Structure 1
Amino acid sequence: MAAPALVALAHGSRDPRSAATVTKLVTEARAQRPDLRIEAAFLELSTPSFQTVVDRLVKAGHDEIVVVPLLLTDAFHAKVDVPSVVAAAMERHPGLKIQATSILGLEACFLQVLDERLRAALKANRVRELDALVLAAAGSSDPLANQSVARLARIWGAHHKLPVTAAYASAAPPATGEAVRAFRLQGRRHIAMASLFLAPGFLPDRAAELALEAGAVAVSEPLGAHPEVARTVLARYAVGAVELVPV
C-alpha cells in the first residue's frame, strides 16, 4: 500500500521568486524523504493550483493525500481558504481522502533559521554590533496571529539578550520602519531586521525597504528552502498520514 501523497500548499504570489522558493522547499523535502510523492501547489496567483495537483495525483492512482499548508500564522487563509479547497477537491473526486494538517506555524527551530539568515546579512553588511532587533512578519487582521509573532519575538529576544519588536508588513502596527525609528529614539543605532516570511515577495520587500529607510543596518532574507523548514513540513505530514489511518 503506497503512502499518502504530500501536497505542500502555499498561498501564492505574483512574484516568481515566491513560487521558485516553494519549489526548492519541495525539492529539499523530497531529498529527505525520497520514498514519498511530494508536490507543490498554490491557493492563488501562482501555478499549479491545488485542484490541478490533486487531479494529477488521482490520475496517478493516489487515493490518499496529506495537505501541509505552508502558512506561518493561523489566520484567514488557514481557517477559510485551505478547508474550502480541500472540500472542493473531495467533492470533485468521490472516494478520495484528503487530510489537511496544522499549518507550518512558528516553530522554535525557525529561530535557528532566522539566526542563520541574519548572520549572513550582518556579514554581507560588515555589521559587528547589534543593540536591537526587529522581527518582521506579514501581519493579519486576526490579533491572535499577530500575538503568535510577538510571542516568538520575545523568545528570540530573550535568547539573544536584546530588545526585539515584532513588526508587520500589513494589517497591523507597527510597520518595520516605525519599529526601527522607535529604537533609534531610545538611542539605539545598530538595529537589524529579520524576515519571518517563508519566501520573497512584495510584503518582505516592503518590510525591508521601510526598515532600511528608517536606519536598519541589515535585513535578512526570508526563511526559504532551509532543511529545518523541510523537516517541519515532513513532521506535519507524518501526523496527517497517521490521522488518515482508519480507527
Structure 2
Amino acid sequence: MSGVPPLIGLAHGSRDPRAAETIEAVMAAVAELRPGLVTRPAYLDLMEPDLGQAVVALQQEGELARAVVLPLLFTQAFHATVDTPTAVGEVTGETGVELLVGDILGMGDEVLAALRAAARTADVPDDAAILLLAVGSSVQSANDAVHDLAGRWAALRTGPVWAGFATAGQPKAAAVLEQVGEHAVTTDTPVVVVPLFLAPGLLLDATVRRARDLAGDVPVLITEPLGTTLAGLVLARYDAVAG
C-alpha cells in the first residue's frame, strides 16, 4: 500500500441494506475525486464491516502504518463523542495501526448548500414550509445545531424551515409535519420533507409515510438523502487530517 493513508468512512449503520449501498457509493465517489486514494466504508453498529474488520482488511492488502477515520455524522452527539473514539482506541490497540480521526461532516455551509441543491432538484417552491428532518439526539447541543441550520436556511428563502426529530429531541417530526401541512393548505404549496440524512433508512421511510398520511390530497415532496453530493466535503475532511 502506498504512503498515502487510506480513508475509512465510519457511518452509524442501519438495518436497511440501502444505507450500506449509499455509504459505499459515497466512498467510491471520494475515490473518483482523488485517484489513488484507497477508501473503505465501516460501521459503528448493525452492519459489517466494523472499524476493526475494515482495518484488518486493509492490512491484508499491504503494509499499513496509519489510516484516516472520518465519522460520517452530522452532529457532535453520542456516536461522535463516545462510540467513535472508543472504537478507534480499541482497534488501535488490537492492530497497532495509527488511526487519525477527522472531523464529522457537521452542518456548515457545504451541508446547507447540499440541502438547498436537493430542494431545487425536487422543485420545492420557495414559499413552501420545509420539515428539516434529523435523527435527533439525547445531547441537546446536537439538536440545537440542527435548529440553527434550519434558521440559517430559512433566512435565505421566503417559506419557513422547521427542524423536527425522528427519535430524541424536540419537536418531534410528526408535530412539525402538522405545522407544515397547515402552511401548505394556507399557501397552496406542497408538504416538503428534507432529510438531514446521508443515506436512506427506516426512520426516513416512517416519516415519509406519516407525511403522506397527513397530507391527504396535498402534494408531498421528499428530497433525496445527501449521499454522494457530500463526497467533496468528505475529501476536504480527509485532507485536513492527512495533509
TM-score by length of 2: 0.90
Match for residue 147 of structure 1? 144
In 2, the alpha carbon distance for the partners of 1:82 and 1:180 equals 32
Match for residue 72 of structure 1? 74
Query: Which whole-Å deviations, capped at 9, do the CAs of 1:192-230 have from their partners, x for residues lacking one?
Result: 11111110001111222222323263111211122xx11
Give, in angstroms, the shift of residue 181 of structure 1. 1.4
Match for residue 25 of structure 1? 26
Secondary structure of the residue aligned to 2:193 is strand
Query: Which whole-Å deviations, capped at 9, do the CAs of 1:77-119 have from their partners, x for residues lacking one?
Result: 111111011101111123x211111111112122232223223
Match for residue 166 of structure 2? 169
In 1, the alpha carbon distance for the partners of 2:213 and 2:188 equals 13
Consecutive unaligned residues of structure 1, counting only runs of 5 or more, are 243-247
**Equivalent pairs: percent with the same residue?**
36
In 2, the alpha carbon distance for the partners of 1:189 and 1:170 equals 30
In 1, the alpha carbon distance for the partners of 2:119 and 2:205 equals 15
Secondary structure of the residue aligned to 1:205 is helix
Once the two structures are superposed, the pairs formed by residues 71-220 of structure 1 within 5 Å of their partners are 71-94=73-96, 96-122=97-123, 130-185=127-182, 187-190=186-189, 191-215=191-215, 217-220=220-223
Secondary structure of the residue aligned to 1:204 is helix
Pick aligned residue for 2:225 from 217, 222, 225: 222
Equivalent residues of 2:43, 2:50 under 8 A apart: yes
Equivalent residues of 2:127, 2:157 under 8 A apart: no
Q: Which moved more, 1:130-139 or 1:148-157?
A: 130-139
Q: Which moved more, 1:52-61 or 1:186-195?
A: 186-195
Once the two structures are superposed, the pairs formed by residues 34-73 of structure 1 within 5 Å of their partners are 34-59=35-60, 60-73=62-75
Equivalent residues of 2:6, 2:39 under 8 A apart: yes
In 2, the alpha carbon distance for the partners of 1:209 and 1:89 equals 39
Q: Residues 102 and 204 of structure 1: is their aligned pair in 2 closer, same or farther, counting only changes over 3 Å?
A: same
Amino acid at match of 1:109: E
Provide the aligned length of Structure 1 versus Structure 2: 235
Equivalent residues of 2:102, 2:238 under 8 A apart: yes
Query: Which whole-Å deviations, capped at 9, do the CAs of 1:35-68 have from their partners, x for residues lacking one?
Result: 2111111112112221111112223211111100
Secondary structure of the residue aligned to 1:178 is helix
Query: Which whole-Å deviations, capped at 9, do the CAs of 1:151-170 have from their partners, x for residues lacking one?
Result: 11011111113211101111
In 2, the alpha carbon distance for the partners of 1:128 and 1:147 equals 26
RMSD: 1.8
TM-score by length of 1: 0.88
In 1, the alpha carbon distance for the partners of 2:125 and 2:238 equals 40
